[in-house]
Amino acid sequence: MKMGSSNDRDAVKAQYASSKSLDIRLNFHNMYSTNKMGFGPWLVSNYEIKEGMKVLELGTGTGSMWTGHDDLIAKCDKLVLSDFSEGMLDTAKNNVGERDNVEYKQIDVQNIPFEDNSFDIVIANMMLYHVPDINKAVSEIRRVLKNDGIFYSATYGEHNFNDIIAEWFGLFGESYDPNHLFTLQNGGEVLGREFANIEVRRYEDSLHVTNIDDLADYLQSLKALHGIGTMERDEILKMLKLHEEDGAINLQKEYGTFVARGAK
């Protein structure tokens, strides 16, 4: 496995054994994103959840997407929040709570333990690029989704701020191993093997970072930027300071979601 590779089963399991690194990244985006709606609330605003639906979320993480959305949860006849990591599921259960219509389940997306046509909606945000066999995963998602169901899958683009920062630090090869297995640019092709109708919705946003210490924490939490993770803290801060303008660093973001419907 290359350093920073994020679709190796053991590496992903270790990275997401607890929510610590993910919390760092979520808090960073919450603090410094210029679009104050927030990526999570924007994603939820796209969901067409109606009364009595059965919904499966794969890779639920901390469950933060559902906090504050009791109205949507209440609409679901059944909501299955799943993750590959037991630690993440424990955090999600603490955040969302025990509810009669909510089930927490450890699931490998490559082998979803539900019957065909079980769900009206399946959600898999910021996780398909971690899966060793992405085609098997998408096939499984299509299998458990009803014929008129909807699949939502958020991801990032190939022109994101991580690539800019990698250039600043002169990273290449094993020092910078970006995961472009499922991006806004190529995800449509991946989903197109199973789905007939695929739409890309983009979220307009950027970063205005006023504390480079927080940016350093964020960068050190990323497996893809292995070269930065092995650097001394003072060295990281010195490099970031070179790119400050008027006490801040401005960076572009490229995020969005696929909305897929209909069997191929």
- Quote the pLDDT of residue 225: 82
CB 18 within 8 Å of CB 87 = yes
Quick: pLDDT tens for 90-114. 999 999 999 999 999 999 999 999 9
Phi/psi for 161 (5° steps) reads -65, -25
Residue type, 245: E
Crossing angle between the packed helical segments 212-220 and 233-241, to the nearest 10 degrees: 130
- Quote the pLDDT of residue 19: 58
Average pLDDT, the chain: 91
From residue 70, how far is each of 66, 76, 97, 131 by CA, in Å?
Answer: 7, 10, 11, 30
Judged against a pLDDT cut of 50, whether residue 38 lies above it is answered with yes
Give 132-159 as a DSSP string.
Answer: SSHHHHHHHHHHHEEEEEEEEEEEE-SS
Judged against a pLDDT cut of 50, whether residue 212 lies above it is answered with yes
Query: In the chain, how long is the greatest CA-to-CA distance?
Result: 56
Judged against a pLDDT cut of 50, whether residue 4 lies above it is answered with no
- Quote the pLDDT of residue 224: 73
- Quote the pLDDT of residue 138: 98
Ranking 38-47, 77-86, 161-170 by mean pLDDT, the lowest is 161-170
Ranking 19-23, 25-29, 110-114, 179-183 by mean pLDDT, the lowest is 19-23
Look-up: residue for tokens 């899966």?
A: 131
Comparing 32 with 22, the larger pLDDT belongs to 32
Q: How confident is the model at residue 18 (pLDDT cuts 50, 70, 90)?
A: very low
- Quote the pLDDT of residue 196: 98
Q: Is 233 strand, coil or helix?
A: helix
Sign of the C-alpha dihedral computed for residues 107, 113, 114 and 115 taken in this order: positive
Ranking 45-49, 56-60, 169-173, 240-244 by mean pLDDT, the lowest is 169-173
Angle 52-57-58 (CA atoms, 0-180°, nearest 5)? 155
Tokens representing residue 252 in the block: 């572009």
Look-up: residue for tokens 């499966």?
A: 56
Average pLDDT over residues 170-182: 84
Give 99-138 as a DSSP string.
Answer: -TTEEEEE--TTS--S-TT-EEEEEE-S-GGG-SSHHHHH
Go through the chain and tell me how many residues it has: 264
pLDDT-above-70 percentage for the chain: 93
Q: How confident is the model at residue 83 (pLDDT cuts 50, 70, 90)?
A: very high
Q: How confident is the model at residue 10 (pLDDT cuts 50, 70, 90)?
A: low
* Distance, CA of 240 to CA of 168 (rounded, Å): 8
Judged against a pLDDT cut of 50, whether residue 14 lies above it is answered with no
Judged against a pLDDT cut of 60, whether residue 15 lies above it is answered with no
Q: Which of 128, 47, 121 is nearest to 84 (CA)?
A: 128
pLDDT-above-90 percentage for the chain: 80
* Distance, CA of 12 to CA of 131 (rounded, Å): 9
Give the distance from CA 105 to its chain's centroid. 18
Quick: pLDDT tens for 227-238. 888 899 999 999
